[in-house]
Chains A and B, each alone.
Chain A
């Protein structure tokens, strides 16, 4: 448990001496602290025996109760792992980004973020959980506003903290109500209370879904993600998107564990929320020009996928279908880890691109894979993984999710079969759109030729930034190829999350891992054939001449880079198809006459929920409230009148 102390130690040191040393200390604190933190997590996962500790805490309605059980350990590993990776990446990223003394402080917030995430995950006490949760909500605020000279960053920070706080309000109510009923804020006591009040359990579930969902970024509470992620430094966004929003998922899982036997409609609710977030997330992503905004929306999508899995699992539990429950939860939980890996990778890649080309606007980029071989390849692997293409890790969890869908489909019960069909179709749509989106993202950024002078001047980034990306990319491949083992290994976690016996879970998972073995064999064939084909091609071309010529431009001899297909034009067909949701605003100045003068076209896809729902509501509220002005307009007579009237009113009221 010394993990937290150590992390905070490193953090404190980082803020203590803001300078090059501060950077070193901050990085060291993060790496060492997280490394030490990994030890108990791995130990627990290995022996599957929870470790806990109690401490004295005189805060009424709170107790210092920490515990690492299998689920906690499972969530701790991505947190700490990603923290290490991002820390290794972060230093060289920060050193060139901003004045050292200012950026050194960001280590403090980064480390506090990691520490608080860990604390949230190991807390077993309502108040302690909330405390850690709030700290976890606060520290990213300073990371988002890191570049506070930009108005956008400030607004992003505001949006972020406001959104999370509103979510936290629900959690406050939830925990206080539970604590009030249980008489103690200890998690163990909650379960007992809820078993006696089923309706209460449903209410609590709703509160949890809203509260944790806001943090996880489900539609429509997702609005802060596309604002906050682009604003923060890339390694911070990686940590936020890779780990922090997963803590929201952790909260939902933990509550489900406490709530005991679920009801069917919870599963439906989760599936509905997951489907909405998944589809809308990827749709909004399609329409973005900014690489990091695009990635942020994909976080929304992936959270949706995770919730779909958990939803299927809950449905399985509620209707007594062990296979469904197990595969569903396995898919959801595994996707947590996978998303952590490839989303972390992609954000780090985006950071590298920003360093190299000084912009993240897709329309300015292009052809980066030639100067940036490593980054490009890593980013490609990440993209393929997030799209769910074989043989990478993304495919594994999506395979499980599809499998659960197909299991449900073959079920005689009409309701379950329908659920399965919904999952399959939604997932199919999501992966299709995601493929389109990342074909665009990777293709426009790294392929073709540069669309601007900055892009042309791009160079590969420093080695400390490359290494983490390569490492994560390797993980993507590894998990993809070692799928059966990975799935089989997750038995303990799934058992803990579903509350089933490990043995039973193991049997169900054995089926899945068996299937995946088959899949891996096919991958092997794929790879072998590919290698052979490559070699064969090489031999064929060995003798003959392989000249380079300009690309075929339909007869036009002088194509310029500006004439390449742009990101917006690539996405245009799908965007128009789904304009009901995407609401792209276009500004077109068509060319006129035979010798047209300047003509222009620009499109911008803001978030419809932000522009059509939240912003108007806020403006309306401001208008309403500012009418209060009249009661405070400076006339002392009226003020005295208030006093008098209050008195008289009370006197009369009390006399009756």
Chain B
């Protein structure tokens, strides 16, 4: 069973580095959807007492949302702002990858800090979740394009989701659904915001939004 988690971790990390290194937004979105599906399945794998309806609902909801709906939404947005398909990073891709390795090390270290407290959580999942968070943050910080920031946000969301799944057992379904709802609405709102911004500025290039300062 643990072999499976190892595989997921490996593939997950791969997807992260892909996100860090890809220059075309379309590709990024596809990688994102892949990642969403991948980690959406985690609840099915990491469970302590048999598959319950709860896990299934959770997994399906995630896969549907992060694997299908969000990517679709993002692709449509990209289609609207179609003259702008580049990621346009502040930080070169090489540097991004280097950062990735660094972040990985950091997350492993943090995991080791936390591990003693979380006995029954698989180490690999733990550190990959933290790694996801870092990567998400990095994407938001280092990319000019508004879409990339949404993507980064979703990666971060993935990380937190995975973390929750593997550490906390028995959070009421209500809460989980609420979280999902929020994520959904969040992306939706961001979508609308990007739509407006695009209409207002004729671009979804975030570093034009620097009028307000001081």
Contacts and interface: CB of A to CB of B under 8 A. Distances in A.
A and B touch in the complex (CB under 8 A): yes
Interface of A: 629, 632-638, 640-641, 644, 648, 651, 655
Contact of A637 (B106, B206, B211, B212): B206
Interface string B50-77: 0000000000000000000000000000
Contact of B210 (A635, A641, A644, A651): A635
Contacts of A648: 106
A635 B140 contact: no
A648 B142 CA distance: 17
B140 A634 contact: no
Contact of A632 (B149, B207, B211, B214): B214
Contact of B110 (A632, A641, A651): A651
A636 B209 contact: yes
Contacts of B210: 633-635
Contacts of B212: 634
B83 interface: no
B140 A637 contact: yes
B38 interface: no
A629 B140 contact: no
A651 B211 CA distance: 33
Given A636-B149, A640-B137, 5 more contacts: A633-B213, A637-B140, A638-B141, A640-B141, A651-B110
A544 B149 CA distance: 108
A519 to B, nearest CB: 67
Contacts of A637: 90, 140-142, 206-207
Interface residues on B, range: 10 to 19
A634 B213 CA distance: 5
A183 B97 CA distance: 62
Contacts of B171: none
B141 A641 contact: yes
Contacts of B213: 629, 632-634
A635 B207 contact: yes
A640 B113 contact: no
19 contacts: A629-B213, A629-B214, A632-B213, A632-B214, A634-B209, A634-B210, A634-B211, A635-B210, A636-B209, A637-B90, A637-B140, A638-B141, A640-B137, A640-B140, A640-B141, A641-B141, A644-B137, A648-B106, A655-B110
Contacts of B90: 637
Contacts, number: 34
A605 B62 CA distance: 78
Interface of B: 90, 106, 110, 113, 137, 140-142, 149, 206-207, 209-214
Contacts of A633: 210, 213-214
Which has the most chain B C-beta neighbours within 10 Å: A632, A635, A637, A641? A637
A640 B206 CA distance: 13
Nearest to A638: B141
Contacts of A636: 149, 206, 209
Contacts of B209: 634, 636
A631 B136 CA distance: 23
Nearest to A641: B141
A641 to B, nearest CB: 5
A255 to B, nearest CB: 44
Nearest to A629: B214
B110 A644 contact: no
B110 to A, nearest CB: 7
Contact of A644 (B141, B207, B211, B214): B141
Contacts of B110: 651, 655
A458 to B, nearest CB: 53
A644 to B, nearest CB: 5
A621 B90 CA distance: 35
B155 to A, nearest CB: 13
Nearest to A635: B210
Contacts of B113: 655
A632 to B, nearest CB: 6
Contacts of A644: 137, 141
A145 B103 CA distance: 60
Contacts of A651: 110
A635 B214 CA distance: 11
Contacts of B140: 637, 640
A56 to B, nearest CB: 48
Nearest to B146: A636
A535 B134 CA distance: 104
Contacts of A634: 209-213
A634 B207 CA distance: 9
Contacts of B106: 648
A637 to B, nearest CB: 5
A145 B110 CA distance: 60
Closest 10 pairs (CB-CB, A-B): A634-B210, A634-B213, A644-B137, A633-B213, A637-B141, A641-B141, A655-B113, A640-B140, A640-B141, A629-B214
Nearest to B142: A637
Contacts of B206: 636-637
A641 B210 CA distance: 15
Contacts of A640: 137, 140-141
A633 to B, nearest CB: 5
Nearest to B152: A640
A512 B180 CA distance: 91
A465 B42 CA distance: 91
B178 to A, nearest CB: 23
B97 to A, nearest CB: 18
A648 B90 CA distance: 21
A352 B211 CA distance: 55
A632 B210 CA distance: 10
A641 B91 CA distance: 13
B129 to A, nearest CB: 15
Nearest to B210: A634
A644 B137 CA distance: 7
A634 B208 CA distance: 10
A634 B141 CA distance: 13
Contacts of B141: 637-638, 640-641, 644
B156 to A, nearest CB: 10
A629 B212 CA distance: 12
Contacts of A635: 207, 210
Nearest to B112: A655
A640 B148 CA distance: 14
A636 B140 CA distance: 9
A641 B141 CA distance: 6
A644 B213 CA distance: 20
A268 to B, nearest CB: 49
B114 to A, nearest CB: 9
Contacts of B211: 634
A648 B212 CA distance: 27
A637 B207 CA distance: 8
B137 to A, nearest CB: 5
Nearest to A647: B137
B193 to A, nearest CB: 12
A324 to B, nearest CB: 60
A633 B211 CA distance: 9
